[in-house]
Amino acid sequence: MSETKEAFLDRLLAQIHKEKYFEEGEYIHFQHDDLLRLANLSINILNNDPILLNLSSPLYVFGDIHGYYRGLISFLDYCGYPPKSNLLFLGDYVDRGPNSVDTIVTLLALKCRYPHNVFLIRGNHETRELTAVYGFQEECKERYSLQVWDAICESFRYIPIAAIVGGTIFCVHGGITSEFQRLSQITQIERPLDPSDGGLVQNLLWADPSPDITGFVKSSRGTSYKFGVDIAESFVNNFGFDLICRAHQSVDKGFEFPFSPSTCLVTLFSADGYSKNPPNQAAIMYINEEMVCSFKFLESSN
């Protein structure tokens, strides 16, 4: 008898829980065919979510992880695993860190097994183009195969683009852009999606806040724009939001209000040990039932 979807996911998650506390330089030894099956299964699960998620609290929100798996596991141990806790991840799951495969496989397995408790939105690194340069492709090739890389990258094309929590917190990987005037501009986007055309989606994934400017200025990244506090405050006021919660940048303390004293936007960064000298903190944000936000920290293992 063939293994059911639920039995497959339970077996995969049992392996993850058994092997997740590996030493530095190690990784979980997944079966090659399990990774292909998970990637294919993920496409339908991710595509079943709306491209603009509407979520309720309580909820834990994660910034960039970038393959720093041990920090992710420490946070999950703290939060509690689904279905006990609801989790939202803001993208950049892979590249740069040492355990991108373990990270994305864990998140996809949790998403597929608990689709109403775990939510993913897309980061700028969830593309074939960037993962071919910044480490994920090479890690897949060394440990498994390019077929695994290609299958997981295909699932990236179905990840939602943004989320609204409790009607008042707008969550996105990068930032906002001048052409974004109506939420329907996101809801009308069709998947599968390749955000490399310089349009709305690419800017939502790449834009950065800057306290030193007003309006929009071309980004030094070579892609998208920087935007000032005037843009951010106008955005939350026009849409009736209280906060923009985004990721996309390393911040030393794990979270930062770059427009302080304005609290209209917060940057989250959840990759423990990403910076080495000095080592960064990692943080996640908890939104409670009353929509009050607080932050939980990891001191870097480095």
The span from the CA of 4 to the CA of 37, in Å, is 12
The span from the CA of 39 to the CA of 145, in Å, is 13
Token readout for 198 is 């310089």
Q: Are strands 118-120 and 87-89 parallel, antiparallel or unpaired?
A: parallel
8 Å CB contact between 68 and 298: no
H helix or E strand, kind and range, residue 130: helix 128-131
Q: Bin 84: left if φ > 0, else alpha if -120 < ψ < 50, else beta.
A: alpha
Main-chain dihedrals φ then ψ at residue 56, nearest 5 degrees: -120, 160
The span from the CA of 281 to the CA of 173, in Å, is 19
The span from the CA of 284 to the CA of 294, in Å, is 9
Give the active site residues: 125
The span from the CA of 36 to the CA of 39, in Å, is 5
> Among candidates 280, 272, 44, 68, which has minimal Cα distance to 154?
44
3-state secondary structure (DSSP) of residue 298:
strand
Q: What single letter denotes the amino acid at residue 21?
A: Y
